[in-house]
């Protein structure tokens, strides 16, 4: 390749940066990061989805900003700079949530603020953004945010469906199925408790590892 020729925006390398966190390098199931918020916000699908979108935005923009500043940040204060950037982005996201989805913002409570200390975000800033150009850093941030969000959405979907018989608050299980109406079904309230989220993550990790062994 000619030295003056630019690498395509979606080259094989860049596609791998974007897509690998969705499977082979997922931050939750492979790297075992961000477990706490996965346990706390996935009892319902809506807060899980909003949390996922929030982390995608913060991770992507933090990676981009730190990459743009990487050659000007003194090594001895790089963690402080990263925290300032992430804190500013989290504050913006929190204010947007309060303005447009206040009910979900209340459900998420302190967990939006705790995005600041999310080890996925800080890990990507240290491991990738500080050593990469802006475009790959942005893709890495989006990819890891999507990988994190994918697990949250899966957990939120099954926990709400099996625990409350609804999706996004709308009933899915017909009333005639419930035992109280002469049917055979009853919601599993245990699905709404945090330990079931941990079990759910464990099941997803088991399925992921099983697929890797077969491959």
CA 180 to chain centre: 37
pLDDT score of 129: 94
DSSP output for 99-112: HH-HHHHHHHGGGT
Q: Is the pLDDT of residue 2 over 80?
A: no
Cα–Cα distance, 129 to 60 (Å, whole number): 10
| Contact between 157 and 45 (Cβ < 8 Å) | yes
Which three-class secondary structure state does DSSP give residue 131? helix
DSSP designation for 181: G
pLDDT tens profile 83-113: 999 999 999 999 999 999 888 888 887 888 8
47's CB contacts (< 8 A; 6+ apart) are 41, 104, 107, 108, 156
pLDDT tens profile 40-75: 889 999 999 999 999 999 999 999 999 999 999 998
pTM, to two decimals: 0.88
């Amino acid at each position: 390749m000619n030295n003056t020729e630019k690498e395509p925006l979606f080259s094989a390398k860049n596609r791998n940066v974007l897509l690998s966190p969705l499977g082979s390098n997922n931050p939750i199931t492979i790297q075992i990061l961000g477990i706490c918020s996965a346990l706390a916000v996935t009892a319902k699908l809506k807060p899980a989805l909003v949390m996922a979108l929030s982390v995608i935005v913060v991770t992507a923009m933090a990676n981009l900003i730190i990459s743009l500043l990487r050659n000007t940040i003194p090594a001895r204060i790089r963690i402080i700079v990263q925290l300032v950037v992430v804190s500013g982005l989290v504050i913006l996201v929190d204010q947007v949530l309060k303005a447009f989805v206040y009910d979900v913002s209340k459900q998420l409570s302190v967990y939006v603020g705790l995005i600041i200390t999310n080890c996925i975000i800080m890990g990507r800033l240290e491991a990738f953004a500080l050593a990469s150009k802006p475009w790959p850093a942005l893709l890495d941030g989006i990819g890891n945010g999507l990988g994190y969000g994918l697990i949250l959405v899966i957990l939120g979907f099954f926990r709400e469906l099996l625990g409350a018989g609804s999706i996004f608050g709308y009933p899915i299980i017909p009333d005639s199925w419930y035992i109280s109406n002469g049917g055979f079904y009853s919601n599993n309230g245990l699905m709404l408790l945090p330990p079931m989220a941990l079990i759910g993550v464990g099941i997803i990790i088991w399925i992921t590892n099983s697929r890797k062994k077969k491959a």
